[in-house]
A and B are shown apart, each in its own frame.
Chain A
Amino acid sequence: MLKYILKRLLLLIPVIIGISFIIFSIMQLTPGDPAREILGDNAAQEAVDALREEMGLNDPFLVQYGRYMWRAARGNFGTSYQTGQSVMKQILERFPTTIYLAIGATLVAIIIGVPVGLISAVKQYSLMDDVSTIFSMVLTAIPNFWLGLVLMLALSLKLKWFPAYGATSLKHFVLPWITLSCMTLAVLIRMTRSSMLEVIRQDYIRTARAKGAKESRIVFRHALRNALLPVITVIGTQLSVQLGGAIIVETVFSIPGLGTMIISGIKTKDIPVVMGGVMFIALVGGLVNLLVDILYAYIDPRLKSRYVGTKRDRKRLNQAKKEVTGDA
């Protein structure tokens, strides 16, 4: 298992390098001049040129990229062009807010999506099934920035139930959570439903019926655990998708997270901030996926026995080998 985790961690390195290269290129290709952004529109051209030279912005692209990566590899993500603050410090300050937003939204999606998907599979072709199908289609079709604005308009401006912006209390997070969870919710409903439908048709479910088990026991004891395996993978990928989705939702609700940081970085061509933010999100996404895969191995005994090698397992394995040879 340890070997597997190490391998996966090593694989993250080329992924991060690839992402950083793409982001760095995009930042170079988009119009705008960081030095001009710092000094303002009224500054003299000579001053801007001097600053460019000082910041090394006149060096060839690859030299700039190499210099950035060389520093980053040693843990130095630079300082913000705008505020002069350390990028790492800014990230660590803002990250808890973003992860709180993403995890909260994922939980909302799980708590609603899995039971709804489950019911709609067990009662296939029922009214409930149709309603949930339509519901998830509608959710998929709604862009989250639009949903965020509508919710804000209706629930905070008109009804004044929730605050419209900021992130100081739990109440502030309700609307962003709903907004961000919606796509994941739709995916989870569909995924749980189809996975459950597939499992219910398996032979071992028929075996359970043949034993005289009640329908509820069949669903919860025999089907659910098998059906949730693919759902867990989806939850993992959705969590990393949500870290990205948070960028939009944070902007809509003016939440001071990584998303708003990256957006303002893009607006002011603050390259270190954008690079740091995106690479950090990519890294967290990769780690979350790894975590889900490890979790998966623990839930599915077929995978577990392949990766987990405790003393007891080895003993069992040897015994099993003996029995197999005795068997043949």
Chain B
Amino acid sequence: MDEEKTIANPVLEVSDLEVVYRTDEETVYAVNGLSLKVNAGETLGLVGETGAGKTTLALSIMKLLPERIGFIENGTIILDGINVTKASPEAMRDLRGEVVSMIFQDPMTSLNPVVTIGEQIAEILELHKTTLSKKEREERVDRMLEMIGISPERKGEYPHQFSGGMKQRIVIAMALACEPLLLLADEPTTALDVTIQAQVLNIMNSLKERFKTATIFITHDLGIVAQTCDKVAVMYSGEIVEYGDLRHIFSKDPFHHPYTVGLFNSIPNIKSDAPRLSPINGMMPDPTIRFKGCRFAERCAHCTERCENEKPPFVDRDGHQVRCFLFAEDGEASSKTEVQAQ
């Protein structure tokens, strides 16, 4: 844990990932050929509406897709040099908690109600830092609790004795106790009210910086993205449609995917006089159907015949990538799914 974390080496490299949920009735294509890179210490915001496959991506990285239903069909996930898709259950257990941690959406249900919070934080150390003595473990738990602003004296208490915000801070402390290389934060503040959100975000940011943990921050709140992320990936219907630095995504220039534009237009603006929000028309396509062309085509104002039949390529401008024909210089522009050469 004390070794220098090598900068600029990708902690996580996902390529051509395809994930499906298969039940007796139907097959849901949740993630469709997604590629992604996260460098050490970097925070990537993963935005997109509900059902875009954000959580599925995170669960695939943890290899915690629902048993007998969720399957990784194709592609590779390289986490700290290890191919997760081929890793044995034992190898995965070593990775989870130690190399990659996850924070779930609802702090109310993600802590075990009959185990004290101290024990729950200590458990992750017990599992991975086996060289620590019991005393050292306890000291470490105390330190973590102090960092999240909860008195270490309360470690003998049970989750129900804490408020929602405190619980989420405890979950964060637990996730970061082993100083993992990568943190997957799946909408960690969605279930909290706004005043508590800021507090939880602050604690998460400070701990992240302290431990130099790379983070994938899953959210649909663009405000939070602006506050916390270095890079942003916009996800739509199981694929990334736009990727770039924070400033790229939030820039005013017209080089954006129509879906990203739609997302920004859906944010309430106090300054504008518009009596209503302008949501994106239509709904996300049926995830049980596979598409030939652009998945956003049927909701897109700029849709052409080509969009419906051909998969648009990523157009790269200075590291800012948009997957749309609008910006393709010529029709033949690499329509391969090869992405994000950074």
Chain A residues packing against B (C-beta within 8 Å): 202-204, 206-214, 221-222, 225-226, 299-302, 305, 316, 319-320, 323-324, 327
Judge whether A213 and B158 touch: CB under 8 Å: no
Task: Determine how close the nearest CB of chain B comes to the CB of A323; give it in whole angstroms.
Answer: 6
Interface status of B140 (Cβ within 8 A of chain A): no
Q: Which residues of A contact B93 (CB under 8 A)?
A: 212-214
Q: Which residues of B contact A300 (CB under 8 A)?
A: 113-114
Q: Which residues of A contact B96 (CB under 8 A)?
A: 209-212
Q: How far is the CA of A28 from the CA of B154 in the complex (A)?
A: 62
Chain B residues packing against A (C-beta within 8 Å): 62, 64, 92-98, 101-102, 104, 106, 109-115, 123-124, 127-128, 150-151, 153-154, 157-158, 160-161, 163, 165-166, 171, 174-175
Given contacts A305-B161, A319-B153, A320-B154, contact A203 B109 (CB under 8 A): yes
Q: Which residues of B contact A320 (CB under 8 A)?
A: 154, 157, 161
Q: How far is the CA of A37 from the CA of B109 in the complex (A)?
A: 65
Q: Which 8 A-B pairs have the closest CB atoms?
A: A212-B97, A212-B96, A203-B109, A301-B158, A211-B97, A204-B112, A212-B93, A203-B110
Judge whether B114 and A323 touch: CB under 8 Å: no
B64, B101, B127, B154: which contacts A323 (Cβ < 8 A)? B154
Q: Which residues of B contact A209 (CB under 8 A)?
A: 64, 96
Given contacts A305-B158, A323-B151, A323-B154, contact A210 B102 (CB under 8 A): yes
B98, B112, B114: which contacts A207 (Cβ < 8 A)? B112
B109, B153, B158, B174: which contacts A211 (Cβ < 8 A)? B174
Q: How far is the CA of A300 from the CA of B159 in the complex (A)?
A: 12
Q: How far is the CA of A323 from the CA of B148 in the complex (A)?
A: 13
Residue of B nearest to A316 (CB): B157
Q: Which residues of B contact A319 (CB under 8 A)?
A: 151, 153-154
Q: Taking A207-B112, A208-B112, A316-B157 as given, write out 10 further A-B residue pairs in contact, using a Cβ cutoff of 8 Å, ordered by the A residue number.
A: A204-B111, A209-B96, A211-B96, A212-B94, A225-B114, A226-B114, A301-B113, A301-B160, A319-B153, A323-B154
Judge whether B123 and A327 touch: CB under 8 Å: no
Task: Determine how close the nearest CB of chain B comes to the CB of A122; give it in whole angstroms.
Answer: 12
Judge whether A204 and B163 touch: CB under 8 Å: no
Q: How far is the CA of A226 from the CA of B114 in the complex (A)?
A: 7
Which of A207, A299, A316 has the most C-beta atoms of chain B within 10 angstroms of its own C-beta?
A207
Judge whether A302 and B160 touch: CB under 8 Å: yes
Task: Determine how close the nearest CB of chain A comes to the CB of B142; give it in whole angstroms.
Answer: 16
Residue of A nearest to B112 (CB): A204
Q: Which residues of A contact B128 (CB under 8 A)?
A: 212
Q: How far is the CA of A206 from the CA of B166 in the complex (A)?
A: 20
Judge whether B158 and A206 touch: CB under 8 Å: no
